[in-house]
Amino acid sequence: MKQRPLDIHSNDNTLFTTEQCNNHCIMCCQPPRKIDDIDHYYQQNIKRVLSAPKDLPLIALTGGEPTLMGDKLFSLIRLIREQLPNTEIHILSNGRKFADPEYAKALKLAGDNKVMVGVPLHSDYEKDHDIIAGSKGAYNETILGLYNLAMQGIAIELRIVMNKLNYMRLPQMATFIHKNLSFVTWTAFMGMERVGFADTKSTHIWIEPIEYIPQLCQAVQLLDDFRHEVVIFNIPLCLLPEQYHPFAEKSISDWKNKYTDCCEQCRLKEQCCGFFATSTQLYTGIKPY
């Protein structure tokens, strides 16, 4: 996989760490591959960090599953901290490896307060989460991992990717997060990118946002009622009731962001996340404001 150059003007500067993953999420936009690529990307990423613009605001570590790098993850983070001391580091991880408290502790040592971990949660019910994650035991390890990260005082972004299998329980998930994961820095409800598994297995997984908006709004409202930070990613404003617009972010990376013809007449285009250029189809129900 070819990595894009780190660019100070981009909102998406990423170090791709591996194509391997210990989950096999049914809607994965970047389906994992079993190849021995960790050293290859590690060496590549060292060079990329060394040549990166020094005032890069944010760098993201992604995959696959970055924690499969084991201790190399910490060497890479230490290098970033050394070379780019002011850069925030965002790790996108399924969190399972942090079920080992020592691993969470080591992350804190390496990354200190510059690190945030983004962790997807697919359901509040173990078996649903495991089905979506494509791996038995994933849920329990992820929840323990979240607790261990929190014990270390590491910032957590919780990510809920909304799909056909979990949208019915979005409000219950919000209650679960409020009660059991109240320490997360924020919760992001994310629309699916229609690419990878989400597209090829669409009959099982795909659901039009317009169908889950009521559950989404109820979940967002509940978290907001209890003063938790909550955001909506990847849902165009025209699909959201106006009172939920303040929660919606311009979340789609600039290099894969697009707007359609009807967006040209929309007065909210500048504030709107638009669409994934990578998606095979647009959402239904799009209309200009």
| Residues engaged in binding another protein (CB under 8 A) | 123-126, 128, 140, 143-144, 147, 168-169, 172, 176, 178-180, 182, 225-227
Q: Tell me the sheet residues that pair with 155.
A: 116
Whole-number minimum distance, CB 126 to another protein, in Å? 7
Whole-number minimum distance, CB 233 to another protein, in Å? 24
Whole-number minimum distance, CB 169 to another protein, in Å? 7
- Taking the C-alpha atoms of residue 132 and residue 153, their distance in angstroms, rounded to an integer, is 28
Which helix or strand (DSSP H or E) is residue 80 part of? helix 72-83
Angle CA 256–273–4, to nearest 5: 25
Q: Tell me the sheet residues that pair with 60.
A: 14, 90
Q: Tell me the sheet residues that pair with 188.
A: 159, 231
- From the number of C-beta atoms within 10 Å of its C-beta (0-12, 13-18, 19+), residue 246 rates as exposed
- Taking the C-alpha atoms of residue 102 and residue 99, their distance in angstroms, rounded to an integer, is 9
- Taking the C-alpha atoms of residue 109 and residue 248, their distance in angstroms, rounded to an integer, is 33
Whole-number minimum distance, CB 124 to another protein, in Å? 4
Whole-number minimum distance, CB 164 to another protein, in Å? 15
Q: Report which residue type is found at 140.
A: N
Q: Between residues 125 and 206, which has the closer beta carbon with respect to another protein? A: 125
Q: Going along 19-139, which residue ranges are E strands?
A: 58-62, 88-92, 115-120
Question: Which residue from 69, 90, 73, 68 is spatially nearest to 22, judged by alpha carbons?
Answer: 68
Q: Between residues 168 and 262, which has the closer beta carbon with respect to another protein? A: 168
Phi-psi region of 274 (alpha: psi -120 to 50; beta: other; left: phi over 0): left
Q: Between residues 20 and 172, which has the closer beta carbon with respect to another protein? A: 172
- Taking the C-alpha atoms of residue 152 and residue 149, their distance in angstroms, rounded to an integer, is 5
- 3-state secondary structure at position 43: helix
Q: Between residues 144 and 268, which has the closer beta carbon with respect to another protein? A: 144
Q: Between residues 172 and 260, which has the closer beta carbon with respect to another protein? A: 172
Whole-number minimum distance, CB 118 to another protein, in Å? 20
Q: Between residues 114 and 169, which has the closer beta carbon with respect to another protein? A: 169
Q: Between residues 75 and 140, which has the closer beta carbon with respect to another protein? A: 140
Whole-number minimum distance, CB 111 to another protein, in Å? 23
